[in-house]
Amino acid sequence: MKDFSHLDDQQKPSVVNVSSKKITHRKATAKAVVQLPEHIFSKLQDANFNTAKGSVFQTAIIAGIMAAKKTGDLIPLCHPIGMENCSINIDFNDFNEIEIFCTAEVEAKTGIEMEALIGASLAALTIYDMCKAMSHDIVIKEIKLMEKTGGKNDFKRS
């Protein structure tokens, strides 16, 4: 069994020491799912996903990327890293839900999965914000890591 990574030998919060790690190419993809009430979903489709506040999806993409860039400032023990790439794709699934995929990349000593998770999360929250005037019955159903490569352990959700 592994221990918590952000506790020192005295069980106090600690930043993980990555000074002896090698720089590798790291890539992670995270997914968020937003469930909208049918009337909001239909209205957004009819309006080509534009509102008086602007394009819902384009705004969510920009918000997600901006948030991913600030991950080290948002999560207290997360290393600030110079993220080198971030993309967000938004689509629908068969249940009329919005799926957001955020992929982030970096050449670094430590991972990029938190940046991908933050990017997907903030894109989902932006969609909520832009649609909440029509209903608060919007659910961000899940936020999860789908895949990561380049660190000590690769991961892929099946």
Torsion of CA 80, 65, 90, 24, to 10 degrees: -40
Torsion of CA 76, 81, 84, 85, to 10 degrees: -20
Distance CA 1, CA 13 (A): 19
Q: Note if 73 is an active site residue.
A: no
Of the listed 8, 46, 129, 137, which one is catalytic?
A: 129
Distance CA 152, CA 158 (A): 19
The residue among 24, 7, 34 whose CA lies nearest residue 95 is: 34
Compute the Cα dihedral for 70, 76, 157, 25 and give only its sign: positive
Tokens of 3: 């221990």
Task: Please give the positions annotated as active site.
Answer: 129
